[in-house]
């Protein structure tokens, strides 16, 4: 069984218009829904977002580095 503690402070939202998932930190919920949040993770697959967050321990600096390096 995999430990999912890294996901604790993350929220996931599905936009059915563009058929895409987003993930963002819980403290940014107001900014996200007000359209003010710039840095969100986006993917067509929820599991991709979960994998990225788990691989990096939810560390936003590590996520940026991972995405930059592909």
Question: Residue ranges of the domains in the chain?
Answer: 5-69
List the one residue out of 54, 50, 25 whose CA is nearest residue 40. Answer: 25
| 42: pLDDT strictly greater than 50 | yes
| 46: pLDDT strictly greater than 60 | yes
Say which residue the tokens 């940014």 belong to.
Answer: 28
pLDDT band (50, 70, 90) for residue 44: very high
Please give the average per-residue pLDDT across 41-53, as a whole number: 96
pLDDT band (50, 70, 90) for residue 68: confident
pTM recorded for the entire structure:
0.86
């Amino acid at each position: 069984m995999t430990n999912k503690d890294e996901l604790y402070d993350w929220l996931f939202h599905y936009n059915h218009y563009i058929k895409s998932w987003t993930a963002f930190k819980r403290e940014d919920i107001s900014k996200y829904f007000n359209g003010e949040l710039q840095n969100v993770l986006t993917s067509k697959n929820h599991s991709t977002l979960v994998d990225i967050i788990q691989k990096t321990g939810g560390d936003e600096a590590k996520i940026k580095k991972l995405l930059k390096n592909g």
